[in-house]
Amino acid sequence: MKTEKIQKILNKICTADFICSDVGLLFIWLRPSFSNDQILLDLSNFVAHSESRDRGVSFNHVNSFVMNFISVSEKGGTIFGRSAVFNKTDVIQRLITVLQTLGLIFENNKLFSQRDKLADCLQELIEETEFRFADPRIIRCYVKRSGRGMQFCLEADLKGPAIKMTPGASVCSDLFD
């Protein structure tokens, strides 16, 4: 692990003197340390593989919504809403726990005070990532910013009968708040 480099980035974050690429490097370098935290591991995998995703807690979340939406379009029923997978306060608290476990030196309150900027950077790094589905009805499923949060958006070609959706139309739900 690149402990000295991680510590330098951590110092920059705690003094509010960091840019989004610093956050990206931090999450990539900490990736092996996130193996016991599926939320942080998924975010680090997003950063490392931002072109497309077909696994992880976020994919499972999105896949569950998409399959429910398609089923309702064909058979009727209820579309089940989903809470966001990532919450900035939770993500930062998890990050603090991992950093403490690794013995890195920082003040919790200084790192925590940067949660908005850290979340913005993570969102910038994962924006426009696509979720990959084999189902030909799914035209595109991707991540986009929405205000201070992130959503995943689904574009599909659904023939109904309960819900019809033409290419170009999209349905979005929260991913990161």
Please return the burial class of 113, using the count of CB atoms within 10 Å of its CB with bins 0-12, 13-18 and 19+.
middle
The model's pTM is 0.91
- How is the chain split into domains, by residue range? 3-176
At 96, the pLDDT band (50, 70, 90 cuts) reads: very high
Q: Is 120 helix (H, G, I), strand (E, B) or coil?
A: helix
The predicted structure's pLDDT at residue 176? 93
Mean pLDDT calculated for residue range 27-55 = 94
122-134 average pLDDT score: 94
Computed over every residue of the chain, the mean pLDDT equals 93
- Is the predicted pLDDT of residue 23 greater than 80, yes or no? yes
Amino acid at the residue 158: L
pLDDT at 1 over 80: no
